[in-house]
């Protein structure tokens, strides 16, 4: 039986789905959306504008009440509104304004809509309140002598010594006390308030025909584009007649291209549009998911696991089409890749270990020769000098001294080479620890007996204080080397006639070994350096006190091999080394 190809299935289903769905969407947008959107928006504004006009006439809003209602209308309808006379003169204050009381008793209205567009954040930060004193610069529009109010459009406002805005030549400068201030909410401020003033300038003066229609209280509605931006707006003018017979105009400018304003209309539009295609989409989606989506998701999951180098999946798609064939191929590929990857990982692991071991050995070898040449240079020079003196025939009284010095320097070189070889063995990682249980106090006393001559030479005593001591599990030979190095270091730097104290404090199955001498403390900034190879606490690195400079470095390596924690610190008039042995 001839199988249907996935290409044919995808083509047929995709064409039907997208032709039906997107055909409806595009056709609806092209033929109906613009008219629907504009009609819905203008209808809502007209309805609310008529309600506003009726309340304005019946309740005779003036002053601050009128400003509040203007702001409420603009925020509710996302539009701009002004009340003007037939000659275009505004009959209402700017909804966002301040009122100042001048020294001569006159009242000054400060329009803030344009000023807020540029300096809104700074004006809010100034936190101007009623009874604050202000100084303004701006363009002043004086009313007739019978009026007690003048209007100013500010370019700068000075409050509390801080100036907001820019100074311009030719502007009027006035001062007064704030009696009223109305600012928009930060979240609701709309810089389009300036577009309203621009629309008023373009519409007025009215033509004779427009004026006649408005005097007959006929609503005027027209589409208008701002010349500087090209944004489409709907201008709606609703005439109302005051009780005295005077006609006033409610002038609104509503954006037709603002995305936020269009969200509500879009939701309704696509709701109506989607109802017709809902059943078709559900049916097509059901077939589409069963025939194509489900196996594609499985293949995608298999591919993701393979990208993550996980080849444990099975061949779960058994179809007689391209998807089934692709699944079989991916399963075979995953098995082959899994086998190859395992072999490659093992080979890489071995290669990395070999390369790392080789690198460590090269570094150790290089450091060994560098340190050996540096440290052996001084004793060899001394031996050479004294040997040349013997060769030149020094006096008989000095020959014994020369021979003694040569033997001492040879002994030092022997100790140095031994320590360097021990350190190289420890750093190579080839040493296998032979662990057993033993008592640290017994080991310490054994080491002290070996150093009796060094102790007697400086008149020192060693005191071992075990407290609840448990046995430790470690390599006794290497731990003996650690104790020997610590004690030798303590003796070397102890004051003559003092005491070297060794404490072994049990803490359950664990214990803390500490050795403390009485002598010159180590500078705090050098405490962490004493573990370095060839480090000596004396600033001049003098060799007079003896030692190879490797003892503490060897002790550190041995303790690291055992996984022990260790530390050094100055205590009173000496230095204390501590080692923590786990139970």
Instruction: Determine which helix (DSSP H) or strand (DSSP E) holds 221, and give its type and residue range.
Output: strand 220-225
| Distance in angstroms (rounded) separating the CA atoms of residues 319 and 454 | 89
Helix (H, G, I), strand (E, B) or coil at 188: coil
Q: Is the bond into 205 cis (omega within 30 degrees of 0)?
A: yes
| Distance in angstroms (rounded) separating the CA atoms of residues 157 and 118 | 13
What integer pLDDT is reported at residue 14 of this predicted model?
Answer: 67
For the chain, the residue count is: 583
| Distance in angstroms (rounded) separating the CA atoms of residues 331 and 315 | 6
Domains and CATH numbers, the chain: 81-258 (no CATH), 434-581 (3.30.565.10)
Task: Say how far residue 186 (Cα) sits from the centre of its chain.
Answer: 29
What integer pLDDT is reported at residue 504 of this predicted model?
Answer: 93
Nearest to 187 by CA among 124, 127, 231, 128: 124
| Distance in angstroms (rounded) separating the CA atoms of residues 171 and 223 | 36
| Distance in angstroms (rounded) separating the CA atoms of residues 316 and 299 | 9
| Distance in angstroms (rounded) separating the CA atoms of residues 583 and 577 | 20
What integer pLDDT is reported at residue 146 of this predicted model?
Answer: 46
Tokens of 451: 């150093």
Neighbour count for residue 359 (Cβ, 10 Å): 10
Sort 161 into a burial class: Cβ within 10 Å, 0-12 / 13-18 / 19+.
exposed
- The reply to whether the predicted model has a pTM over 0.75 is no
For every residue of 178-228, DSSP letters joined together read EEEEE---TTT--TTHHHHHHHHHHH-SPPHHHHHHHHTT--EEEEEE-TT
Q: Is 515 left (phi over 0), alpha (psi -120 to 50) or beta?
A: beta
DSSP assignment letter at 543: S
What integer pLDDT is reported at residue 278 of this predicted model?
Answer: 64
Q: Is the dihedral of CA 154, 159, 161, 163 positive or negative?
A: negative
In 224-321, which ranges are continuous DSSP H helix?
259-288, 294-307
* pLDDT by 10-residue block (mean), the chain, 583 residues: 58 70 69 76 90 91 80 84 84 73 86 76 84 87 60 85 85 88 61 71 86 91 79 89 89 75 62 66 67 72 75 67 74 80 88 84 69 64 75 72 76 68 67 88 90 88 92 90 88 91 91 92 82 60 54 84 90 90 83
């Amino acid at each position: 039986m001839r199988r249907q190809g996935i290409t044919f299935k995808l083509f047929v289903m995709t064409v039907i789905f997208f032709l039906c769905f997107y055909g409806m969407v595009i056709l609806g947008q092209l033929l109906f959306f613009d008219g629907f959107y504009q009609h819905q928006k203008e209808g809502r504004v007209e309805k609310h504008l008529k309600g506003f006009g009726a309340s304005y006439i019946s309740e005779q809003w003036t002053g601050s009440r009128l400003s509040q209602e203007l702001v409420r209308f603009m925020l509710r309808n996302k539009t701009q509104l002004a009340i003007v006379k037939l000659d275009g003169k505004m009959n209402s204050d700017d909804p966002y304004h301040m009122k100042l009381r001048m020294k001569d008793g006159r009242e000054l209205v400060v329009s803030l809509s344009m000023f807020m567009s540029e300096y809104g954040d700074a004006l809010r930060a100034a936190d101007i309140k009623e009874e604050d004193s202000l100084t303004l610069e701006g363009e002043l529009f004086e009313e007739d002598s019978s009026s007690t109010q003048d209007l100013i459009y500010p370019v700068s406002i000075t409050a509390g010594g801080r100036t907001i805005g820019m100074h311009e030549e030719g502007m009027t400068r006035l001062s007064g006390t704030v009696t009223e201030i109305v600012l928009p909410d930060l979240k609701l401020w709309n810089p389009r308030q300036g577009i309203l003033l621009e629309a008023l300038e373009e519409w007025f003066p009215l033509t004779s025909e427009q004026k006649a229609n408005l005097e007959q209280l006929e609503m005027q509605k027209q589409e208008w584009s701002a010349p500087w931006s090209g944004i489409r707006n709907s201008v709606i003018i609703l005439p109302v007649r005051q009780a005295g017979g005077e006609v006033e105009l409610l002038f609104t400018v509503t954006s037709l291209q603002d995305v936020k304003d269009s969200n509500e209309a879009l939701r309704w539009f696509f709701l109506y549009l989607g109802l017709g295609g809902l059943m078709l989409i559900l049916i097509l989606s059901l077939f589409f998911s069963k025939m194509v989506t489900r196996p594609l998701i499985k293949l995608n999951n298999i591919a993701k696991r393979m990208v993550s180098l996980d080849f444990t999946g099975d061949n779960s798609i058994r179809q007689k089409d391209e998807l089934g064939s692709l699944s079989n191929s991916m399963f075979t590929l995953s098995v082959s890749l899994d086998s190859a990857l395992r072999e490659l990982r093992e080979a890489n692991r071995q290669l990395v270990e070999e390369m790392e071991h080789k690198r460590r050995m090269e570094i150790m070898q290089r450091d060994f020769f560098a340190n050996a040449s540096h440290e052996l240079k001084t004793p060899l020079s001394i031996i050479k000098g004294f040997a040349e003196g013997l060769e030149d025939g020094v006096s008989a009284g000095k020959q014994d001294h020369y021979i003694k010095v040569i033997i001492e320097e040879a002994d030092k070189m022997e100790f140095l080479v031994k320590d360097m070889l021990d350190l190289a063995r420890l750093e190579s990682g080839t040493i296998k620890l032979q662990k057993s249980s033993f008592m640290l106090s017994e080991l310490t006393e054994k080491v002290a007996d070996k150093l009796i001559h060094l102790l007697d030479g400086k008149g020192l005593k060693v005191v071992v204080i075990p407290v609840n001591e448990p046995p430790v599990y470690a390599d006794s030979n290497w731990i003996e080397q650690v104790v020997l190095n610590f004690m030798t270091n303590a003796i070397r730097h102890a004051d003559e006639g003092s005491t070297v104290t060794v404490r072994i404090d049990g803490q359950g199955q664990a214990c803390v070994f500490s050795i403390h001498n009485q002598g010159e403390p180590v500078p705090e900034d050098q405490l962490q350096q004493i573990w370095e190879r060839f480090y000596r606490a004396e600033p001049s690195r003098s060799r007079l006190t003896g030692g190879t400079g490797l003892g503490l470095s060897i002790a550190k390596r041995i303790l690291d091999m055992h996984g022990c924690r260790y530390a050094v610190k100055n205590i009173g008039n000496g230095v204390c080394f501590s080692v923590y042995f786990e139970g």
